[in-house]
Amino acid sequence: MNNPLIKLSQRIGYSFNDESLVQLALTHRSCGNKNNERLEFLGDSIVNFVIAEALYRKFPQAKEGQLSRLRADMVRGTTLAEIAREFELGEFLQLGSGELKSGGHNRESILADVVEAIIGAIYLDSGMAVANEQILNWYESRLAGLTLDAVIKDAKTRLQEHLQKSKHRLPKYEVTEIFGQAHDQKFKVSCWVEKLPEITVGIGSSRRFAEQSAAEKALKALGVE
Quote the least distance from Cβ 92 to its own copies, whole Å: 20
Catalytic residue among 40, 99, 113, 116: 116
Least separation in angstroms between residue 11's CB and its own copies is 25
Tell how strand 200-204 and strand 172-179 pair up. unpaired
* DSSP letter (8 states) at residue 28: -
Q: Cβ of residue 21: shortest distance to its own copies, in angstroms? A: 13
E-assigned strands of the chain? 172-179, 186-192, 200-204
Active site residue 154: no
Measure the CA–CA gap between 58 and 50, rounded to whole angstroms.
12
Amino acid identity at 207: R
The neighbouring-strand residues paired with 202 are: 189
Single out the catalytic residue among 40, 44, 113, 125.
Answer: 44
Q: Which residues bind its own copies (CB under 8 A)?
A: 37-38, 40-42, 44-46, 48-49, 52-53, 56, 62-64, 67-68, 128
CB of 7 to its own copies, least distance (A): 28
Nearer to its own copies, 73 or 207 (CB): 73
**44 part of the active site:** yes
Of 55 and 199, nearer to its own copies (C-beta) is: 55
Nearer to its own copies, 9 or 48 (CB): 48
Specify the residue, 40 or 211, whose C-beta has the smaller distance to its own copies: 40
C-beta separation of 104 from 95 below 8 A:
yes
Residues 71, 64, 143: CA angle, nearest 5 degrees: 35
Count Cβ atoms within 10 A of the Cβ of residue 109 and give its class: 0-12 exposed, 13-18 middle, 19 or more buried: exposed
Active site residues: 44, 116
